[in-house]
Structures are given as C-alpha cells and as structure tokens.
Amino acid sequence: MLKIGILGGGQLGRMLLQAAANYPVITHVMENDPDCPAAHLCHQFVRGDIRNFDDVCRFGRGLDGVCIEIESVNVEALEKLESDGVRVYPSPSALRILRDKILQKQFYKEHDIPTSPFLITQNRQELKKQDTFLPAVHKIASGGYDGRGVQLISNPGDLDKGFDHPSVLEKKVDIHKEISQIVAMSRNGQTALYPAVEMIFDPVLNQLDYQLSPAEIPQQMLWRVEAIALKVVKDLKTPGIFAVELFISTNGGVLVNETAPRVHNSGHHTIEANYSSQFDMLWRVVLDYPLGNPKHIMPAAMINLVGREGYSGEVHYEGLDEILKMENAFLHLYGKKETRSGRKMGHVTLLSTDKSDLVYKARTIRKQLQIISKQPEKII
Amino acid sequence: MLKIGILGGGQLGRMLLQAAANYPVITHVMENDPDCPAAHLCHQFVRGDIRNFDDVCRFGRGLDGVCIEIESVNVEALEKLESDGVRVYPSPSALRILRDKILQKQFYKEHDIPTSPFLITQNRQELKKQDTFLPAVHKIASGGYDGRGVQLISNPGDLDKGFDHPSVLEKKVDIHKEISQIVAMSRNGQTALYPAVEMIFDPVLNQLDYQLSPAEIPQQMLWRVEAIALKVVKDLKTPGIFAVELFISTNGGVLVNETAPRVHNSGHHTIEANYSSQFDMLWRVVLDYPLGNPKHIMPAAMINLVGREGYSGEVHYEGLDEILKMENAFLHLYGKKETRSGRKMGHVTLLSTDKSDLVYKARTIRKQLQIISKQPEKII
C-alpha cells in the first residue's frame, strides 16, 4: 500500500481521510495540535509544525507522496522531498506561485489569464501614491488566509488601512457573481472539471450566505469559466486538485480572482452531490487511479456553519435538531472543541432538484443554527 | 462529546467510523488485530478479545455507549455494562435472542412473526429422526457466520451432513425472492424504514450476485415486508439498527429468515444511494439525534468484492481501473492486506435510474474484477 502524508489536520484533512478509507492507502498527518479534526482518522499522526523545514522533511521522508490541506507549509522542505523522489501534490513550484499573491497575479498576467488589473506595493509608502488606482483591494502577498490580509481601499482616505508589507493592489471589480471552478489534473495530464459553483453573499452582512451547485450562469459564460480555469491548471503544470475562484463582472467579464491548489471549501457539497467528491478525486490523483466522474448527482446548496460573532470557548450547537430533521440535509460537524467568532465548525449540504427548496432551507439553516460557547459568556 | 465504543474492527466498523466523522463524538474500537480495517479511524483503539468478558468490560467502562459490528461478542459483559449505566445498542437481551438461531426462531414463533416451520435438534442423533421434515436447512444455533454453520438437507442421505450441536432445522422455503429490510429504532421508539433491498443470486454459482435497491416487488407485498420487519424490531424492544432478512416464497408468502441487530452488508449502498446511510442512522440513534431520512436518492446496485476461490495471501486487485472509470460506480476497498477464498475485501455501489444499466454494470464488475493473491500461488 502507498504511504501518503497530509500536511495540516483541519476539516479538509478530516474529509480527505473519510474518503481515503475507500482505498487501500496508509495515511499520515502532520499538525501541531493533536486534537485537530483529522488527527484520529489517519494511520500515523505526527505532531509537528508544517511551516518548519526540518519537521516537514522528517514527516515526508519514507512516504510515497505528500499533499496539503493548507498553503502555509514549508515549500523548501517540499522541494527537498520532491528532489528525493517523494511525489508532492501540488508541485512545490506551483505552490510557490499560488501562496504568494504577487507571484500569483504575475503568473496570470504572464499566461494571458484574465484577471483584474493590479499594481505591486512593497510598503504603505508606495501604496499611498496609488490614489488614482482606486477603488481597489489591497492583499498582503503572503500570510493572509480566509479574509485576513485583505483590505478594501475605496477612496484615498482608506489608504492608511493598507498593509506595510509587500502586497498586491487589485482594481476593484464590479461583481455580478462569484464562481468557483474545481479542476483535477492527473499525473498523466488528464483533467476533470466539476460543475461550476456559485457563491451567494448576504448583502447586509457581506459574508458568504451559501453556495449553489451548479452555478446559474449562461452556457457561453460557463464555457469561458471552464476554459479559463482549465488554462490556469494546465499552465501550473502539476497534478492535484484546484479551486479556481472567478468573478463575473457586471459588464460580463470573467476574471480569475485566485486559485487554491488543494481541496477547497467550495467543494464540500461534492461529497454527496457529485459522483466523485473532490476528496475522492484527490486520492485518485495521488494513488494514480483513473480520474473520477465530477458530474453532479443532484443540484446542491452548501452552508458553512461558523462560530457566532462574539462567542468563544467550548462549543454549543443551538438548533441542531432542526437541521437533522431536514429530509435532504447532510450535516458535517468537524469535531472542534472550541468555537470562535467566524471559525468554520461544520457545514451542511442540501440536495434538491428544486432551487427554491435549496434557497429556503439554506436560509433557514443560517437563521436557526447558532454556534455559541457552552457557557453564555458573550465577550463583545 | 459522547464517547462511543464499537466492538469489532472490520469493514462495518470502518464505515461506521467514516460516518462518525460527521458528528462530534469520541470513538473507541476493540478488536484483536491492530491492522484491522477500522483500527486507524477511531480516537482510541483497544486491542482485545470481543468474546472475552473482562476485555469487553474493561473496554466499555467509562464509555457513554457501546455498539457492535458483529454478533459474536461477550453478551454477559454487555449486560454488566448496561447495568452499570452504559447504553448498549442493541440491548444485550435482544442480542441474546438474535445471536442464537434457536432462540431467534422461537422468538418469531412466540410473537406470531411469519417464519418457516422448524424443529430443534440437540445433536445429529436427533436430526437423523427428522427425515419426514425434509427438504430442510440445518443451522447451528450459535457460532455460524456468513454461510458457515448452515447445511442444506435435501433428502435423508444428507442427514449425515448436519450438525452434532444444538441446531434448528428449518423447512426449506421455495424462494421467489430474498429481501432485506433495514429498520432503525431510536431511543424514544421512533422508527425509520429503508426501501427494501432485493438480493439477486447467481443460479450457476449459487452465491450472491448483486443487490438491488429498491426491491422490485408488488406494493402489497412490500407493505407486508415492511409491516413484518417493523414488528420484529418493535418486539425486540431495543434502539439500534436492524437488517431483517426475508424470503418471498414462490406461493407469495413473506417469511422472516433472520435478523441482524447491527449495520449490515445489505445496507452498504445506503452510503451513496440514500439520504441517511445505515451508518449515519446508527450514529443518530446512539447520539440521540433525530432519525435521518432513509429514502433513496437514486436506485442502486451493490456488488460485494470477494477474494477469488483458491487464492490466499497478499491481495492483488485485477481490473480495478475498469471499475474506477465507470461513471456511476463508487468503489469501497476495505484495506485488508490479505485475501482468502470468499473473503469480503470491498464493495461497489452503482447509482442509476436505469435498471438495465445497474444490472449490466453489476455483472461486468463481477466478471472483470479479480481479487487474487499478489504472487499467483493458486492453492487449489
């Protein structure tokens, strides 16, 4: 049996390991926290720092392959492992590009991949000269994650909010829709495209409300989304699974926002809604099996379950029974002991051929389920 | 988080643990073999003998609940645990009845549950007097499993093949169809019935060819199947999940064959084909959540992948790629290192609304996939 390591032990690792149990594979996980969501589901858990060169080298030595569930890993160690014959998904060279927002933008530009216009700023001083480029979004080159390290700069008065580190300043796009296109590439260059997914944002709270699969976009536009996402992955020249996030602008343009070279939040629904889930698909890539069928079994909505703003501590789920009673809802709780504001604690996938059923239930879940701390110690 | 133990670490435990990762629960497994399919997927693996009183008591102490994935466990220990406040699924009293084929048949008779006529034989001497009861099937009261401990006695010349242990002699039924009806019962007595499943046997090899869900039987007969299975579970008076196996006789009778008080081979397809799988459903029972929706998402076929007759040793899968390329096939390999004649090594679930597609592909899989030993050391 092949021995495969996963760097990172969060919910993506957890779901990867649930899928791994369908195949003959020995799984290893490295993560600092021995209580992390994935720790107990692998053959071999190794406590270590995925950002540390020695830890990652030690972890990967003797394995047949290594994949990631988060980008913030030690790339130099992955390069070393790769040169020693360990297969790495994605390749360290692709990871080096995608984990740095400056290199990523430059990659799109060099490969004629449509993306919003951008400038590079090394520090806040440089940023302050760019008042004619506004409105724009300032993104720190490295270290940002899940909304951290991103700042909207609407007008010159906002320039002070920008980052005093190497960053990219992207022209703000007037967004009609946000799309995620998941693409898998096998070691022999075969590709599989999932139905594109559409993110629905809450206009009041300005946060992800739910996702719909497949996205409701005209066929011609879908083809452009697919063609662009496919080009991103082919130009990265590495096997693996990729979530290409795109904007459809109000004037009909299709622009790449960013690409994650791993299983992704926008693919959670594929566990139940598609023949081969994104997790299953990555194992097929890593184990060198034929790619799976990415087509959907049924249309789906996916709702992230996040810790309620202002609560932290031992988690308590309020309204869980209502979700568990929904006929077409699939609940996934990640087993995290502690909640924090906005922390991803689980998700729900809904299956239905009736879009209004998906939307109604997605909103019901968003309203009814409250993830708070067990003791009602509201800290705000 | 509740701490739940599973007695047995085979493929049923493995799939239970895949489903457990959707819920906040701490999982413990006890099994003798630390390389068993479930060992690496739980929080706490305990090496021990599930038939041993002390081992089971030690395992269950401090847990909130215990369930089984095989009947051959120490019931006395479960009774002890139950009296100490550990919840046991199924209750030891129900398990005591079902794990003994004599008590099980008597239970059906006492509760007016239709089953084939039977006699009890304490030894071969008693059996030999029953030549007027033939053709019949002789089943050893305890210790039989997966076809072992069952002997067809067609005519008086076969009486020598019977068991010299307490056994039940059941009048042979002229079988039109074999059906499995999975039923879940929650702690507060709510029940959920899965669509009945039909087993299709290979008339030449006389072994299970594949299963179809839902079973193709007339509505009136389905109602009888459901009513009878429901009565079995209600009369057992224990929460848990149950596979009630029934015969539909050539003259239209519906007779209970036997009942398993646990997740079951005939429910494997529910992982992909039903909203709440049998594994998900058991966790809902055990964690005291509302029961899930047992309805099917799509019709399905399920094919067991068993070790080819005459081969044993390190497993080698021949023809795996052909299955992995099938658009609507879900492969589950249990990660067993060694194959043996007839050993269950995995299964495939097919989803389709087109029955001929299910049947054609099920037969293709049965023909194409060969599970043999790595070195072609044919021992027969």
CB-CB under 8 Å, B18 with A21? yes
Candidates 1.20.58.340, 3.60.15.10, 3.20.20.70, 3.30.1490.20; correct CATH number of A117-171? 3.30.1490.20
Which residues from B are below 8 Å from A305, CB to CB? none
Which tens digits make up the pLDDT trace of B30-75? 999 999 999 999 999 999 999 999 999 999 999 999 999 999 999 9
Closest to B128 in 3D by CA, of B103, B157, B108, B154: B157
Distances (CA, A) of B176 to B115, B202, B216, B250: 15, 14, 12, 5
CB-CB under 8 Å, A335 with B25? yes
Burial class of A379 by CB neighbour count within 10 A (0 to 12, 13 to 18, 19+):
exposed
Closest to A267 in 3D by CA, of A298, A244, A283: A244
Domain locations in chain A as residue ranges: 2-89, 117-171, 175-373
Q: Does B41 touch chain A (CB under 8 A)?
A: yes
CB pairs under 8 A between A and B: 85
Q: In this predicted structure, what is the pLDDT of residue A74? A: 97
Nearest CA in chain B to A349: B275
What's the complex ipTM?
Answer: 0.94
Please tell me the distance in Å from A52's CA to the nearest CA on chain B: 26
Of A14, A21, A320, the CB nearest to B14: A21
**Which B-chain residues 151-210 have CB contacts (< 8 A) with chain A?**
none
Q: Which of B13-27, B196-210, B360-374 has the highest mean pLDDT?
A: B13-27
Peptide bond into B299 cis (omega under 30): no
Which tens digits make up the pLDDT trace of A20-46? 999 999 999 999 999 999 999 999 999
CB-CB under 8 Å, B335 with A1? yes
**Using N-to-C axis directions, what is the helix angle for A11-20 and A278-286, rounded to 10°?**
70
Residue with tokens 């343009």: A253
| Threshold 0.80, pTM exceeds | yes
In what side-by-side order are the strands of the sheet with A370-373? A338-339, A313-318, A370-373
Q: Is the model's pLDDT at A369 over the cut of 80?
A: yes
Closest to A76 in 3D by CA, of A99, A48, A51, A98: A51
Q: Is the model's pLDDT at A341 over the cut of 60?
A: yes
Of A18, A295, A335, the CB nearest to B18: A18
CB-CB under 8 Å, A297 with B335? no
CB-CB under 8 Å, B321 with A289? yes
Q: How confident is the model at residue B147 (pLDDT cuts 50, 70, 90)?
A: low
Residues 6+ apart with CB under 8 A from B315: A24, B307, B336, B337, B338, B339, B345, B371, B372, B373, B374
Give the Cα separation of B265 and B182 in Å (integer). 11
CATH number given to A175-373:
3.30.470.20
Candidates 3.30.1510.10, 3.30.1300.10, 1.10.10.60, 3.40.50.20; correct CATH number of B2-89? 3.40.50.20
Q: How confident is the model at residue A202 (pLDDT cuts 50, 70, 90)?
A: confident
Q: Supply B238's token pair.
A: 């224990």
**Which helix (H) or strand (E) covers residue A29, if one does?**
strand A25-31
